[in-house]
A and B are shown apart, each in its own frame.
Chain A
Amino acid sequence: MADSTAIASGPEVAARPISQAALWRRRLGGGSYVYLVPSLIFLIAFTYYPIGFSAYLSLFRWNVLNPERIWIGFENYAQLWREPLFWLVLRNNLFYAVGAIPTTMALGLFLAILVNQKLGRARGVYRVALFYPTMIPMVAAAMLWVWIFNPGIGLLNYYLGFLGVPRIEWLYSRHAALPAIIIMSIWKNFGYFMLIYLAALQGISADLYEAASLEGAGAWARFRAITFPLLGPTSLFVFVVAIISSFQVFDQVFVMTQGGPADQTNVLIFYIYQHAFRFWDLGMGATLTTMFIGLLLALITLVFLTVGRRVYYEGGA
């Protein structure tokens, strides 16, 4: 007999006698839980257990010179609080977010609007040309941009020279290194944002624009009144994705600057990596990891409280 733990409906099914086993199964939600077991094994093992484990580890001193873990309570956190480099790292993350996120979003939106116009055959070409950086590993893009950012013979300084811009030392300047990484990240990511906005734009009915135009609204007014508000949920989604990925910056820093010069490009994930795999200070690494996860969870809660509910329950069309 076929497994019929689906919600029973119709007189035919209700008339059949139900065995004790089937009743129990129905009570426990039936065999549904079994379907979740494969996923749950991995989710627990590689997402939830690590969260708990790193919180636990953060309460110990554990490094290459102290192979036995020593309980120190919140000492790691206190040490971090006092460490100026930690605050510098957070500041770098903040600068990066402020520099990269609005710019990438604006650029993505702007191009989405333009590409959404009737451009004929060229539209496909434009989309590919603007989106292809997403297909390249960040490492490869980073290598390429190290070459482009070369102060003496790099492409960027050469063409900037035509615009009268004095030579910038880019990755070797304490002031220009982080901006360089931001520029490179924008180049890499804006195509993806553009696509998301493009999809959303195509969901806005042309009639709305027509009506507005009939009322005498110009392009900018139409944008402010129709496009921008209706893209609200999309923008929020893009924003959240952007924030989470801004904290994941690692590859570029690892390849291009190794955190320098003078830790001006040292970001959180690289900082954790340094502690865990350079200094082998696993206790401190766990502390930083726990703080980072705490930050993410706070962010998630915020998102859920504001918009999440709508998304969550809206499962269908």
Chain B
Amino acid sequence: MSWVARRAAWRRRLRLNPLATHLVVGLVALVTVTPYLWLLSTSLKFKTELFTPTPRWIPWPINWGNYAEMFDRAPFGVFLTNTVIVVCGILAVQLVTVTLAAYVFARRRFRGSNVLFMLFLVQMMIPIHATFLPNFLTLRSLDLLNTRMAMMLPFFASGYGTFLLRQAFKQVPRELEDAAVIDGCGGPRFLWHVLIPLARPTLVAFGLISLVSHWNDYLWPLIVTDTPDVRTLTIGLGMFVQQESGADWTLLMAATVFVTAPLLLIFLVFQRKFIESFMFSGLKG
């Protein structure tokens, strides 16, 4: 046998039994997906068809009316708009603060940079869940309660984003920057024309992670908003549950589908980008 063939044979021994692997992974995947299928199924049922002794997976007759009715009961369209505004607003400002900060941490030396960077790193580990009470009081004294701005403010700076981007910026070789400086493209222009384009994958990754995590925010919007005109999807769903006193499951499931659909659809379309972003969101090495 040639050494190539021998190598291939050894390589094959390294693999786990493919059939078994497919079976196990497939099973786990099925179990993971099942709840969502059940969600879809329930959302299309009639109220009276809900309490069958054995679970009926295919609803018959199909009730599309739940989706219409839920808009009648609560302004889910407004909630969607608000959510989009809030997550885009947060990301827009984050991109500015993060880029500027990461630039100096990556490319400049200055006194106290280590200590200052520490501040950014520590912030990564102090979530809003730890600081929501004092932040609530701050916003109250600024008279900003019940506004979209209130939902965005605490997230405008991101230690995590700064950290990620700093790593990316550091990858650019010194020589490139020196050459650029000589050509008259130093400092901020270098940042804009060279660093940012080169770091685009990281920016995209960070953007996706930020969008997803703030789309799904609950605690913070819950305590700073009161009225439906600024309410977001997650809060809207939570309140819709209370409105129905947990009794009308078909309606609730329809609302849940609506709340989860936008992000899931975008995820399915851009899945590779999403998966890449989240995969490399950890620290390297």
Which A residues lie at the B interface, using CB under 8 A?
A: 2-7, 9-10, 12-13, 28-33, 35-36, 38-43, 45-51, 53-54, 57, 111, 114-115, 117-119, 122, 124-141, 143-148, 153, 155, 158, 187, 191-192, 195-196, 198-200, 203, 206, 209-210, 213-214, 219, 222, 233-234, 237-238, 244, 247-248, 250-251, 254-255, 269, 272-273, 276-277, 282, 285-286, 289, 292-293, 296-297, 299-300, 311-312, 314-317
Q: How far is the CA of A36 from the CA of B32 in the complex (A)?
A: 43
Distance in angstroms between the alpha carbons of A126 and B27 in the assembled complex: 10
Shortest 3 CB-CB contacts between residues of A and residues of B: A29-B110, A50-B134, A42-B157
Tell me whether A196 and B279 are in contact in the complex, defined as CB-CB below 8 angstroms, given that A29-B108, A129-B33 are known contacts: yes
Given contacts A43-B123, A191-B32, A196-B278, 11 further A-B contacts (CB under 8 A): A3-B186, A5-B187, A31-B187, A36-B104, A39-B158, A42-B157, A43-B159, A137-B259, A187-B35, A198-B279, A213-B14
Residues of B participating in the A interface, judged by any CB pair closer than 8 Å? 7, 10-11, 13-16, 18, 21-22, 24-26, 28-30, 32-36, 38-39, 42, 50-51, 54-55, 96-98, 100-101, 103-104, 106-113, 116, 119-123, 125-127, 129-138, 153-154, 156-159, 162, 166-167, 170-171, 177-178, 181-182, 184-189, 212, 215-216, 218-219, 222-223, 233-234, 237-238, 241, 246, 249, 252-253, 256, 259-260, 263-264, 267-268, 271-272, 274-275, 278-285
Pairs A–B under 8 Å by Cβ, sample size 9: A5-B186, A38-B96, A39-B97, A43-B120, A46-B138, A119-B22, A199-B279, A237-B283, A277-B223
| Residues of the B chain whose Cβ atoms lie less than 8 Å from the Cβ of A32 | 104, 108, 110, 113
User: Which residues on the B side are within 8 Å of A272 (C-beta)?
Assistant: 132-133
The complex places the Cα of A7 from the Cα of B106 at a distance, in Å, of: 12
Given the known inter-chain contacts A36-B101, A233-B283, please indicate yes or no for A137 contacting B216, CB distance below 8 A.
yes
Expressed in whole angstroms, the Cα–Cα distance for A288 and B236 within the complex equals 28
Per the bound structure, the CA–CA distance linking A129 and B31 in Å amounts to 9
* Contact, CB under 8 Å: A136 / B249: no
Min CB distance A133 to B, Å, is 7
> Contact at B285–A233, with CB atoms within 8 Å?
yes
| Residue from A46, A131, A200, A312 in contact with B282 in the complex, judged by beta carbons closer than 8 Å | A200
> Which of A111, A139, A199, A299 has a CB less than 8 Å from the CB of B218?
A139
The SS class assigned to the A binding surface is helix
Closest CB-CB distance, A278 to chain B, in whole Å? Answer: 12
Partner of A6, one of B36, B154, B187, B282: B187
B106 contacts which chain A residues (CB < 8 A)? 315
Closest to B185 in A: A2
Residues of B within 8 A of A117 (CB): 15-16, 18, 21
Q: How many contacts A-B (CB < 8 Å)?
A: 316
- A148 contacts across to B, CB distance below 8 A: 35, 38
For B284, the chain A residues whose CB sits under 8 A away are 314
Chain A residues with Cβ below 8 Å from B97 are: 38-39, 42
Contact between B249 and A299, CB atoms less than 8 A apart: no
Per DSSP, chain B at the interface is helix
Shortest distance between the CB of A72 and any CB in chain B (Å) = 18
| Contact across chains for B11 and A42 when beta carbons are under 8 A apart | no
**A214→B10 contact, CB < 8 A:** yes
Note all chain A residues with C-beta closer than 8 A to B252: 143, 147
Known: A35-B101, A127-B275. A135 touches B267 (CB 8 A): yes
Q: Among B189, B249, B285, which residue has its beta carbon within 8 angstroms of that of A314?
A: B285
**A206 CA / B7 CA spacing, docked (Å):** 12
Cβ 8 A contact of B259, one of A40, A140, A250, A316? A140
Which chain B residues lie closer than 8 Å to A57 at the CB level?
134
Q: Are B121 and A312 in contact (CB under 8 A)?
A: yes
Contact for A111 among B25, B39, B182, CB less than 8 A: B25
Q: With a 10 A CB-CB cut-off, give which of A35, A125, A126, A191 has the most chain B CB atoms.
A: A35
Bound Cα distance A43, B120 (Å): 8
**Chain B residues with CB below 8 A from A293, complex form:** 126, 130-131
Partner of A50, one of B26, B138, B188: B138
Q: Is the CB of B135 within 8 A of A46?
A: yes
Question: Assuming the A-B contacts A158-B54, A210-B14, are A36 and B126 also in contact, with contact meaning beta carbons closer than 8 angstroms in the complex?
Answer: no
